Amino acid sequence: MLLCVTAHHRNTAFDLLERLAVDPADLSCGVRDGHAAIRGAVSIATCNRLEVYVDIDAPDLLARSIAQSSVSRALESIGGAEAASAAQSAEILHDAGAIHHLFSVAAGLESVAVGEEEIAGQVKRSAHIAREAGLSTPLLDRAFQEATRTARAARAKGDASRTGRSLARLALDLVGSRLADWSGVNVLLVGTGQYAATTVAALRERGADRIRVYSPSGRAQVFARRSDTEATNELDSSLVWADVVITCTTRLSIGPDDVPDDARCYIVDLGLPRNVDAAVGDLEGVTLLDLETIRLHAPLVHWSAEEDARTVVDAAAHSYVSDSAVEPAIVALRQHVLDLVDSEIARVRSRGDDGRVEEALRHLTSVFLHTPSIMARRHAAAGRADAVSEAIEVLFGLEAGGATGSSHGEALQHGEQGKTVGLGR
């Protein structure tokens, strides 16, 4: 069974998510070693989410209990009691729901900035790290590989390359339309997380060469060295210095009283929850663009592309779950036939016949199994996985165990994404 324990920006406050900033490899290892029923674990850790995908050999309710306690203990071991407490609002998704969520995350559809491209790389790296550390399993590998493929397909369908799926890039385009040239423009960046790094890259692409970084958490110096920008500890004077201010942090709230009277700038608020009070936009000399404003000004194709991407993800998740539902039956059939062939080959060899007989038998086996495998997957995609399993059991006397996933495929088809439960006690 595949489970996902997820704490993200929709179910967990940002100040709590900060406490969940743990090393994903350490977390995967702690979870995998937390119970004998857990075969493997892959963790995804970003500034907006912490997720653990678990391959577990246990019935549904027991599996969720094991996953919950294993993640809690691992977090407490790595990050202390605060980390374990911060994950109380996490949810547990299982089977079809976990797959749909993983595919949506990889495609950027669950991000703060819907459609962001950076998350796909983070998902891929998480799977690679777990695999290299021996923490993954074939089930997890296949799910993450398909998630990466689906993310590429969703971006292509959503025409992401031409519309610029990052909100930071879209916001900079809106501001840039009012500037003659980004070169020489004073830019103040508030925040030092992953999205701040993405914003710096977008600024460089546009020719911005005067970028100053302020961090409420005191990380500006380190970030500045890595990004070749200038660090500052003075917010007030930097607001006066800046022509453009971009905020993307969780530790700061700027109100009208925080903005000096002589500040003249565009302020782009990418924070969620917002970093800048809407009343700041009423100050003389200040133009405020928040997420709502950016969405209103976005080209129609940019946001309709999201629906196209969701269509791709829904179809891919449904297909994956349907295939998974019938896979045990196909494996059982293949193994049955291969065992019969091996027995026949052994009998032929005992009589001293040459290898051409073995070659012919194995070729015949491959041809024989091809059409049943294809048809089984087609019927599974149509919601008849249980019927396939029953047919194989009746015709061949095989126990195809585990082929109960057609209900998951049907659930996805009707909009359900798997049952969710809180991680909290």
Burial 20-47 (b: 16+ CB within 10 A, else e): bebebbbbbbbbbebbebbbbbbbbbbb
Say which residues have a Cβ less than 8 Å from residue 353's Cβ, sequence separation at least 6: none
Distance, C-alpha 327 to centroid of its chain: 25
Q: What type of residue sits at position 265?
A: C
Handedness of CA 178, 181, 185, 190 (dihedral sign): positive
First to last CA, the chain: 22
d(CA 373, CA 385): 12
Q: How far is CA 276 from CA 6, 188, 238, 266, 303, in A?
A: 28, 14, 16, 12, 24
Backbone angles phi, psi at 388, to 5 degrees: -60, -50
In 104-147 the beta strands, taken as DSSP E runs, fall at none
Q: How far is CA 140 from CA 97, 202, 374, in A?
A: 15, 33, 23
Handedness of CA 207, 212, 215, 220 (dihedral sign): positive
Neighbours of 114 (CB within 10 A): 17
- The H or E element that residue 77 is part of is helix 60-86
Q: Which of 4, 47, 248, 265 is catalytic?
A: 47
| Strand-pair category, 49-56 with 38-46 | antiparallel
d(CA 72, CA 91): 12
Backbone angles phi, psi at 136, to 5 degrees: -95, 180
Q: Around 414, how many Cα atoms within 13 Å sit in the side-chain half-sphere?
A: 9
d(CA 258, CA 217): 18
d(CA 192, CA 206): 20
Which of these, 34, 149, 64, lies nearest to 418 by C-alpha position?
64
Catalytic residue list contains 29: no
Q: Which residues are catalytic?
A: 47
